[in-house]
């Protein structure tokens, strides 16, 4: 996924099964600031902010290709 093309408000699935919302477009093209909406393995992440790289992002959350969190345990 091209980090530089992500828009503010986009929701994404991460490789760990978490869902995040893009807070603003990437400033450097390497990472994008996000806020956790769901986190199946660490509920303390919900509401926190982080920087995500293209290696962590699986897909847009509006698609039916959610990460299979059972494969990660």
In this prediction, residue 1 carries a pLDDT of 77
pLDDT of 32 higher than 50: yes
Residue 58, both tokens: 């699986």
pLDDT of 53 higher than 70: yes
Domains in the chain, please, with CATH? 3-63 (2.30.30)
pTM for the structure as a whole:
0.82
The SS3 of residue 54 is coil
Q: What angle do CA 26, 32, 34 make, to 5 degrees?
A: 130
Q: Across the beta sheet with 31-38, what order do the strands follow?
A: 49-53, 31-38, 19-22, 11-14, 57-60
pLDDT value at residue 63:
53
| Least-confidence region, from 18-22, 38-42, 58-62 | 58-62
pLDDT above 70 (res 68): no
Which phi-psi region, left, alpha or beta, contains residue 17 (left: φ > 0; alpha: ψ -120 to 50)?
A: left
């Amino acid at each position: 996924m091209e980090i530089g093309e992500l828009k503010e408000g986009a929701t994404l699935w991460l490789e760990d099964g978490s869902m995040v919302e893009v807070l603003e477009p990437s400033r450097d093209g390497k990472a994008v600031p996000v806020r956790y909406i769901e986190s199946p393995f660490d509920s303390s992440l919900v509401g926190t902010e982080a920087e995500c790289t293209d290696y962590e992002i699986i897909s847009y959350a509006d698609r039916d290709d959610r990460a299979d969190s059972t494969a990660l345990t």
